[in-house]
Structure 1
Amino acid sequence: MTEPSDFKAELDRLAADEPLADRAAHLAKLSGGTFDVLVIGGGITGAGVALDAAARGFSVALVDAGDFASGTSSRSSKMIHGGFRYLQTGDVALVRESLRERHALQRNAPHLVRVMPFMIPLFLKGGVINPKLSRALGGALWSYQFAGAWRLGRRHRRLSHDEVERHMPALDMDRIGAGYMFHDLRADDARLMLAVLATAATRGAVVVNHARCTGLSEMSNGIRTAQIDVDGARTEVNARIVVNATGVWAQKFLEGIGVDSPRKLSPAKGTHIVVPIDLMRNDVAVSLPVASDRRTVSVVDEGPFAYIGSTETTDPADVSQPSVTEGDLTYILDGINRHLTRDITPNDITSGWAGFRPLVADGKSARSSDLSRRHSIELEAEGLITVTGGKLTTYREMAEGTVDAICSALDRKVRCSTRRLRLHGYSSSASHLSDGDRLGKRYGDRATKIERLVRLAPELGERITPRGETILAEALWGLRSEMGASLADVLFRRTRIATYDGRSVLADADAIAVRIGRVAGWGDNRIASETETLKTALRQELGVLALSLPDVADNRSKEDIT
């Protein structure tokens, strides 16, 4: 193993101009500072608000109680879509807005998004395809095209029985007659959020993770003062406007500062499981119906993995501790296995995740699938705005509306400039129409820096887990240049290997911590502490999947043989 000192100077040089590299500098600017806008919440919504406000010339600070994107913004289905199914509820305006925002992201971040072909099989009934259902689906896809899907440059098309089978050979084709294919986009949600935040930081925004807002004063002389607990100390931050962008915790935040809001949230739990791609063999995303409640689950290919989900339930569990439950597992496995020639078992699962969507309740329906994906922006009190609801695809639109409200409150007229603002890492060669290399699709023009580290220390090119593709250099880069404050931050939200191969990471956590810690220059005490923190996070995230773990040694020997 190369000594850390051999490449530390080069790593420092490569990270020197990265906007999230120096957390201490951000913290120094935050403590005791006065800003036009203070954003509470470092998910995609808060990051979008910080970027829009900074791009309009406001002084901006953002804090998050945990790591950036550690809530809903790293636990989505990772789709940048127009909401095809919302056509069924007649919400054409939401579909058009989503497709417009999908196109903006495609233009502004080609290194982060890629085309996602989506297949909908047509099932047989009595040996034939229901012609009425087929026509209805075809008509809906044309409506989707006219609503704005055409901007992607791809048209939907009808698939034959054999074409459906070629795209997912694991399907039980005796029950399928044909299918349809249409196209949306996909993105790593956490990496998208980091890119938005980094772009905000390049425009002067001060951003700090693991910084909890514990109190907020009343407005006094045009200023609110927030109490922030960070790194074992308390500091105060002054702001002319405070934006509550805490997602599913929005009501709890307001209650904590004594503000009563008439708007109510109805958090909906979504759970996904992950399996090796060899079991599904799908080269496109596939939508399959669940017999028990007439919803659908999607099977999405993700390199050596495929993830399946999601559930959509109003779970009574604490939104701060989402995890995979036995009920979640049963729902997904029962839903998917009726469509496969070979059942997926719990032993096949490599990982899983759960999260809560901050849906705005409208009082019309108790079903989470009926609740609106629209967002809400409200002036709660003088100098306090709450933005919540919405979805990943429309984060920029939500941010624009929020900063418009900030402009109105501060009596400033500044136009939004994010519609065509390129995100951090933008690379014109990383076109959404080409496959590109894996690092280029995750880091854009910063991929060359990671490749440079591997050339300097070849052992950094080793995989963190046998099945995954994530390499040690990515973990080191997340620690040094992307404000990863811990091993858990890096493996869950900078590299995602704990998201897709969590059971292997948990089974081999001690060795993984040593491999990363040694190259990062940590001492034994730091490595031991990071190991335990990582294990705790994994057990919480995996839930029932953490109760039995794979044999890592066996996995390694199989990898060596192949």
Structure 2
Amino acid sequence: MAEPLANRAALRDRMAGASVDVLVVGGGITGAGVALDAASRGFSVALVEQGDFASGTSSRSSKMIHGGFRYLQTGDVALVRESLRERYALQRNAAHLVTVMPFMIPLFLKGGVINPKLSRALGGALWSYQLAGAWRLGKRHRRLDHQAVSAHMSGLDMERIGAGYLFHDLRTDDARLTLAVLASAVGQGAAVLNYARCTGVSAFDRDGRTAHIAVGGENIEIRARVIVNATGVWAQNFLDIAGIASDRQLAPAKGTHLVVPRALTGNDIAVSLPTSDRRTISVVNEGPFAYIGSTESTDPDDINQPSITQSDVDYILSGVNRHLKRPIAPSDVTGGWAGFRPLISGGKSARSSDLSRKHSISVEAEGVVTVTGGKLTTYREMAEGTVNAICGILNRRVACRTRDLKLHGFGPGASHLSDGQRLDKRYGTKAAAITQIVTMSPPLGHSVTPLGDTLLAEVVWGLQAEMAASLADALLRRTRIALYDGRAVLANAEQIGLIVGRGVGWSPSQIALETEQLKSTLRHELGVLAHDLPTVVPCQS
């Protein structure tokens, strides 16, 4: 059976001149969720994305499927319950893509002792978290002694730490989750297309609106009864293109993460550490790497081209180094990512941590619905609410089916409680296809970089079966090695391009073009990290 995203040309041909019930503009996790929900209810659906799928916020998150424990501090119990409910849905429907993530909160000493009020408050909050729905994970929190805290993160300076608490959430690869939702939508009858930019929208008439889409130097038209604006931080841009006035207030919040070899931090779980400005940063284990973040700011920046700045590096390293035995140097950083979250602003606070993680669904004009805000964990509920609004507009009541709909790649034996084999937890039932590529071409069984565990075969699979349109797409969003070990990928781009290009049958000129595009993309993505690249042992060909 052909992979749902393997034939981009066929999906494009389905869209040209099509008339559909629902056109989704935006190919991140929110738009993907809307496409799946609508298609599964029997609506005809098309989705277009101006760049690559998940190339915006949906590949640049902290990669946590969490119930929002910290939202208890602000008294937002409703958001916590919603998040925990949706976490449970992913636990059931995407067990091949999510894994339990133990999370440790150290208790710091003051005057040589742990503040008893703080300890009781944290313990009480964790019990509240359990009762709000965290118990469905099959794990419960517990207190850790000094020795156990040190064992979970050997790089911590333990002189100021007395004990800690351990609780559990889920983790996922955000971009791969988005791809699985898109593939599931295609399986339900939707047509999806990346690098398809909406350039204009007609006025509404009795049959809906016509969207003008630029694809590969051509223009196609899609007629839709309802258009869903799921463009995230670009929501207002789309409304401007459509000529629709709106008073919505979005405050794009920039978040940056840095990646280092996990040997430097020594953590086998995720750890939350306080910063000097009364925020927290997380140190999250990811195979041979650990990623640290996030910054949170609403400083003006180009939302179209997020990049890692020197101030991002300084903030994160100063925040984590105050807790480590051996400080991390900028030269230790292997990669990272920066992105913007579409937070909803009430116009009062300048701190992004104070802005709402709730979502908003609104009918902007006849035949146009905008969904914004929210978070990775609650994408399905956002989609359900959006499609409920569509049902009202089209006077067609159909019950939601995604609450128990298994995502693409789900198979027997999948469990959120098991780490499983690395390929199984990224591809589910499709892991065998990666193994088959290696069997047919053993050199593709080598790792892309010396430190990473991503195989060259995974890059080939992304290009052949997952609608990656370029080498950069495959390394950044089908695999994630260009995030975690981006400096090594950039330093060895020519050989990576040569091996992968031969694996997919590119000509020498296309290999050279793809390699140059990869280098250009990575230089921008890495920002200041693209300077003084390491000397890398070439991957074997």
TM range (shorter): over 0.9
Match of 2:350 in 1: 366
1:435 aligns with 2:419: yes
1:296 aligns with 2:294: no
Residues 495-541 of structure 1, C-alpha deviation per residue, up to 9 Å, x if partnerless? Answer: 11101110000111111111100111101111111111111110111
Deviation at 1:315, TM superposition (A): 2.4
Q: Secondary structure at the match of 2:250?
A: coil
Distance 2:88 2:150 in 1: 30
Structure 1 alignment gaps of length 5 or more: 1-15
Distance 1:260 1:342 in 2: 54
Match of 2:317 in 1: 333
1:199 aligns with 2:184: yes
1:455 aligns with 2:439: yes
Match of 1:3 in 2: none
Residue number among 215, 224, 229 corresponding to 1:230 in the alignment:
215
The amino acid of 2:406's aligned partner reads: R
Match of 1:210 in 2: 195
Deviation at 1:256, TM superposition (A): 2.2
Q: Secondary structure at the match of 1:438?
A: coil
Is the Cα–Cα contact under 8 Å of residues 241 and 406 in structure 1 kept in the other structure?
A: yes
Is the Cα–Cα contact under 8 Å of residues 289 and 297 in structure 1 kept in the other structure?
A: yes
Is the Cα–Cα contact under 8 Å of residues 51 and 197 in structure 1 kept in the other structure?
A: yes
Is the Cα–Cα contact under 8 Å of residues 251 and 264 in structure 1 kept in the other structure?
A: no
Moved over 6 A (4+): none
With structure 2 as the length reference, what TM-score do the two structures score?
A: 0.99
Residues 267-320 of structure 1, C-alpha deviation per residue, up to 9 Å, x if partnerless? Answer: 0000000000111110100000001x2000000000010000000101211101
Residues 476-504 of structure 1, C-alpha deviation per residue, up to 9 Å, x if partnerless? Answer: 11111101110011000001110111000
Deviation at 1:244, TM superposition (A): 0.3
Distance 1:439 1:430 in 2: 12
Distance 1:19 1:263 in 2: 36
Distance 1:240 1:442 in 2: 36
Residues 53-95 of structure 1, C-alpha deviation per residue, up to 9 Å, x if partnerless? Answer: 0000000000000000000000000000011100000000000
1:505 aligns with 2:489: yes
Match of 1:395 in 2: 379
- Map 1:230-249 to 2 at 5 A: 230-249=215-234
Match of 2:459 in 1: 475
Match of 1:7 in 2: none
Is the Cα–Cα contact under 8 Å of residues 39 and 188 in structure 2 kept in the other structure?
A: yes
Distance 2:392 2:419 in 1: 43
Distance 1:421 1:525 in 2: 44
1:94 aligns with 2:72: no
The amino acid of 2:481's aligned partner reads: I
Distance 2:438 2:510 in 1: 24
Distance 2:433 2:37 in 1: 28
Deviation at 1:547, TM superposition (A): 1.6
Identity %: 69
Deviation at 1:548, TM superposition (A): 1.7
* Root mean square deviation, CA, Å: 1.0
Residues 179-212 of structure 1, C-alpha deviation per residue, up to 9 Å, x if partnerless? Answer: 0000000000000000000000001100000000
Deviation at 1:456, TM superposition (A): 2.0
Q: Secondary structure at the match of 1:174?
A: helix
Distance 2:184 2:87 in 1: 18
Residue number among 39, 42, 66 corresponding to 1:57 in the alignment:
42
Match of 1:260 in 2: 245
Residue number among 282, 298, 320 corresponding to 1:314 in the alignment:
298
1:85 aligns with 2:85: no
With structure 1 as the length reference, what TM-score do the two structures score?
A: 0.95
- Alignment length (residue pairs): 540
Deviation at 1:364, TM superposition (A): 2.9
Is the Cα–Cα contact under 8 Å of residues 58 and 175 in structure 2 kept in the other structure?
A: yes
The amino acid of 1:166's aligned partner reads: A
Match of 1:176 in 2: 161
Match of 1:220 in 2: 205
Distance 2:60 2:156 in 1: 26
Is the Cα–Cα contact under 8 Å of residues 249 and 347 in structure 2 kept in the other structure?
A: no
Structure 2 alignment gaps of length 5 or more: none
Residues 86-115 of structure 1, C-alpha deviation per residue, up to 9 Å, x if partnerless? Answer: 000000000000000000000001100000
Residues 221-246 of structure 1, C-alpha deviation per residue, up to 9 Å, x if partnerless? Answer: 22200110001111111100000000
Match of 2:61 in 1: 76
1:269 aligns with 2:254: yes
Distance 1:85 1:130 in 2: 19
Match of 2:29 in 1: 44
The amino acid of 1:209's aligned partner reads: N
Q: Secondary structure at the match of 1:272?
A: strand
Distance 1:55 1:393 in 2: 20
Deviation at 1:258, TM superposition (A): 1.5
Distance 1:216 1:532 in 2: 35
Residues 381-436 of structure 1, C-alpha deviation per residue, up to 9 Å, x if partnerless? Answer: 00000000000000000000000000000000000010000000002323111221
